[in-house]
Structure 1
Amino acid sequence: MLADIAENAYAAGAYAGVGVILMIVSFAVLDLLTPGKLRSQLWTDRNRNAGILVGSNMLAVAVIVTAAIVASEGRLLEGLAYTAVYSAIGLVVMAVTFLVIDLLTPGNLGELLVHPESHPAVWVQGIAHIGVSIIVAASIL
């Protein structure tokens, strides 16, 4: 029993560590796609649009990591490999989705993100990121 607890704790720590790293990468990708400093938009300017998009992106990464954990069926190395590969796919597709929505809609999505007034386009983009993560997660399972 104690051995199982130790093994599960190790796995939980490994998945959490990889998940946090992927969330950091996700934040960095969003920062590249948007004008200005995303950190400042969130913590200094308290920009709600930035918060919605970053929060939805973090949730999207968590969905993919969770699916990878379930799909690994207790095989830690396989699960970590699933997590890395499928999360990378998800991040690329989320970035492409951001660019496609930006191209197909009027205005500049990045500019809307840093605007202090709430805009529905940010919700659309956030939901698109979650949708992408669900599709990627389903492909794992």
Structure 2
Amino acid sequence: MFIIYEALAVLAYGALGLVLMLAGYLLVDLLTPGRLHVLIWEQRNPNATLVLAANTLGVAMVVAMAIYASGGTVADGLLRTAVYGVVGLVLMTLSFVAIDLLTPGRLGDVVNHTELRPAAWINAIAHVSVALVVAAAIS
């Protein structure tokens, strides 16, 4: 019966991770003009792809570390993972907004541009950097 319990725990953590990554997708979609599914899958926009990929990787890093660091019961671990995941999403959103405020032009417009732009790389690296800091803080 232990293996069934463990399998259900993996399923619960996986589902929570997917929900958090979906929330990250929705946040990036809200912060950028246009719809991400159109920008990425229909228009093949490299800037939107880079920023979304970095955001998804960042959320996954935070969720993975939260799962790794969670102790006690599965319920406690899921709660910690959810809280840390939301904190990571908030901080990555704030980094997106801060970069937008501190740099010339609108970052949302850069993400919409059809040619790969340096500002998209900065934003992508900021997402991963913030996620690394949150992940380190969790451990």
TM-score range, shorter-chain basis?
over 0.9
Task: For residue 49 of structure 1, give the secondary structure of its aligned residue in structure 2.
Answer: helix
Identity of aligned pairs, percent?
A: 45
The Cα shift of 1:78 comes to 1.5
Look up the match of 2:103.
Answer: 105
The Cα shift of 1:103 comes to 0.9
Divergent runs of 4+, >6 A: none
What is the aligned length? 139
- Deviation per CA, 1:31-53: give whole Å up to 9, x if none: 11000111100111011111111
In structure 1, C-alpha distance between the alignment counterparts of 2:72 and 2:116, rounded to whole Å: 43
In structure 1, C-alpha distance between the alignment counterparts of 2:16 and 2:71, rounded to whole Å: 17
In structure 2, C-alpha distance between the alignment counterparts of 1:38 and 1:63, rounded to whole Å: 22
* Amino acid in structure 1 at the alignment position of 2:111: L
Look up the match of 2:42.
Answer: 44
- Deviation per CA, 1:81-123: give whole Å up to 9, x if none: 1111111111111111111101111111100001000011111
In structure 2, C-alpha distance between the alignment counterparts of 1:47 and 1:75, rounded to whole Å: 43
Structure 2, unmatched stretches of 5+, are none
Q: TM-score under structure 2 normalisation?
A: 0.95
- Deviation per CA, 1:64-85: give whole Å up to 9, x if none: 1111111113631121111111
In structure 2, C-alpha distance between the alignment counterparts of 1:58 and 1:100, rounded to whole Å: 19
Q: TM-score under structure 1 normalisation?
A: 0.94
Structure 1, unmatched stretches of 5+, are none
In structure 2, C-alpha distance between the alignment counterparts of 1:21 and 1:32, rounded to whole Å: 16
Equivalences for 1:74-93 in 2 at 5 Å?
75-93=73-91
Task: For residue 66 of structure 2, give the secondary structure of its aligned residue in structure 1.
Answer: helix
Is 2:123 aligned against 1:128?
A: no
